[in-house]
Structure 1
Amino acid sequence: MTPQKRKSALIIVLLILSLFLTLYSFQKSSQYSTLQKVFQDEKADLEKELDEIIKDYTDVVVRKKRISKRLQVELGKMQNLRDSIKNLRVDNYNLIRKYRKKIASLERENKKLFIRVDSLNTANDQLTQDNLVANEILKQKETINVALTKKFKKLEVKQKDLEAKVAIGGIIKTSPVKVIAMKERSSGKLTSTSRSSRTDAFKVNFDLLENPITNAGDKSVYIQIIDENKKVVAPKGITNLKDGGKIQYTDSVEVNYNNDRLSLVSLVLVNRDDINKGKYTISTFIDGVYTGNTTLKLR
């Protein structure tokens, strides 16, 4: 082969080689662009998935304070993973699969936690409902208690009124009290007198009236005679009254009362030297309750 032909053949080979390199470079550039686009798409998809999961976790953290600590830990993991994906370069394409696995693991954990959140929500809703029912029951009981308290107070008032009426009804009343001043004759016989200077005794006569309400049995009857100066005549002692007061009495008699009418006579002996002119008041008391009085005037 002549030198001219070798030169021509070399040029042709170089041209073919140059064309091949150009085509190869173009092909590699095209593959790289495609790979870069796929990488960017994958990277964007991963970031989008993580952003959605992070948003769900953030919402739950805000709503559920009781488990927020656990959720915040998981949220921190996802945020770190998202930041790592953002910093990926094209030459780290093989890490995409690794991050895919991590995201799948996080999604499983996410599902478990959300199931727990739903369970807590259900329990909380039930507790809220139970609380509402309990409050309603308490309100009803309070209303019933208030009504019963009012009714009890009314019954107390009625009871006291009834007790007062029974107490009043149980008081033994007496017939009008009759009193006669008596003088003693030389024979020892007592006859009536109107003169104070001749009075040796007071004869007091009255009846305990019938009362079926009061308790039968022994009753203490007290007679008090006082002059115009409120001085008790021939005092024998002091007794207490049911109203809290006290009286000094002239005579006392114990009787057995059987709810029927009972006549009573008291003869009160006095020293005629102690009896002055004027009006005398004779009062009667049965079991510490005042029952009536009468007056007698002596000349």
Structure 2
Amino acid sequence: MTKISKASVNKFLKYSPIVLLISLVVYSFKTHESQNRLDEEFRKEKLILQQELDQIVADYKKMSVKKKGLSRRIITSINKMISLKDSIKDIKKGNYDKLVKYSLKVTQLERENRQLMLKADKLHQENTKLEEENNSVRKKLRAHKKSQESLVKMNESLMNEEKQLKEKIGVAANLEIGNVAISTYREKSNGRYTSTTKSRKTDAFKVKFDLLENELAEMGERDIFIQILDKNNDVILSEKNQGDNGSEMAYNDYIRVNYENQKLGIVSLISVDRNNIEKGDYKVRVYIDGAKAGERKISLR
């Protein structure tokens, strides 16, 4: 073992304070430099966290979500991030534990942010799809409405045509008669009738006409009324003035026939009291089912 001399020890003790001082100065410098770097990293980390929160808030504010539940969650998240940003800003230099704690919170918020973004994006896609479907339905409805309006107009046109056609058919279906022939007769003592034109000898009016053929007319029973009118347009008295068919029309003869769209001859002999027959003109009117069908005039001396 090497033996240290007393002189060497004295020499070391002489210079050791200087060495110690230099060592302390170097250590302090290195520690100060390390602390400055640490403080700078601390400041940078705070700034990064604040910028990240600013970006997340900006992303949230760009989101347009109409769903109430999701909108409330976004507003709540924005408020939490603003509060967290303020808390990070207030962290004192060197409080590394808090910085780490808030860094973890920012990481968690970023994760929530991504989830909300995905959900909002999904809702946006669904809304876009619904809008496209809605637009398609609206187009179909407009087309259907136009088609319906067109059908309504067409229906109205067809109804008008049908009405006009019915009116034409109605007119064409009216039953018509041929010329009305009128003769006057006197009755002999043997019951036979001979022609006359003298009023004081007239015992009967003979009315003759044809129901004309009409394929459009309705088949079935028809009521025929015959009137003989004097110069005052009053129905003259005759044996058949009192009908029993329930009609309020005054008449001299009433005949019911079965019409089958074919020509049908009608003859009516109307007995009158010659004492009520005066000189002048007499008119014979024929009605079928209450509608006037023909008229003819005869003059008596």
Taking structure 1 as the reference length, the TM-score comes to 0.88
2:296 corresponds to: 294
Partner residue, 2:4: none
Query: Cα offset for 1:287?
Result: 2.4
Cα offsets for 1:137-182 (capped at 9, x unmatched): 1111111111111111111112122222222222221110011122
Counterpart in 1 of 2:156? 153
Tell me what 2:65 maps to.
64
Shift in Å, 1:184: 2.0
Instruction: Provide the C-alpha distance between the structure 1 equivalents of 2:230 and 2:246, rounded to a whole number of angstroms.
Output: 21
Distance, in Å, in 1 between the alignment partners of 2:188 and 2:174 is 40
Give the Cα–Cα distance (whole angstroms) in 1 for the partners of residues 152 and 246 of structure 2.
37
On the 8 A contact 1:175/1:207 being kept in 2, the answer is yes
* Identical-pair percentage: 35
Summarize the Cα distance change of 1:239–1:282 in structure 2 as closer, same or farther, 3 Å threshold.
Answer: farther
Q: What letter matches 1:236 in structure 2?
A: Q
Matches of 1:223 and 1:76, distance apart in 2: 103
State yes or no: 1:236 paired with 2:272: no
Paired residue for 1:88? 91
Deviates more, 1:120-129 or 1:150-159: 150-159
Instruction: Find the counterpart in structure 1 of residue 282 from structure 2.
Output: 280
Figure out how many residues of one structure are paired with residues of the other and give that number. Answer: 287
Q: Is 1:248 paired with 2:254? A: no
**Partners of 2:136 and 2:217 in 1: CA distance:** 54
Offset of residue 238 of structure 1? 9.5
Contact 2:172-2:216 at 8 Å conserved across structures = yes
Structure-1 residue corresponding to 2:268: 266
Shift of residue 206 of structure 1?
Answer: 0.7
CA contact (8 A) 2:42 2:94 kept: no
- Calculate the TM-score normalised by the size of structure 2: 0.87
Give the structure 2 partner of residue 74 of structure 1. Answer: 77
For the 8 Å contact 1:182–1:199, the answer to whether it is kept is: yes
| Preserved contact between residue 239 and residue 248 of structure 1 (Cα < 8 Å) | no
Residues 298 and 11 of structure 1, relative CA distance in 2, 3 Å threshold: farther
Tell me if the contact between 2:184 and 2:196 (Cα under 8 Å) persists in the aligned partners: yes
Query: What residue ranges of structure 2 are gaps of 5+ in the alignment?
Result: 1-9
AA of the residue aligned to 2:202: T
Work out the CA distance in 1 between the residues paired with 2:41 and 2:87.
18
Q: Which residue of 2 aligns with 1:144?
A: 147
Distance, in Å, in 2 between the alignment partners of 1:231 and 1:255 is 26
The whole-number CA distance in structure 2 between the counterparts of 1:161 and 1:270 is 45
Choose 38-47 or 289-298, whichever is displaced more: 289-298
Q: 1:143 to 1:118 in 2, by over 3 A?
A: same
Equivalent runs, 1:98-113 vs 2, <5 Å:
98-113=101-116
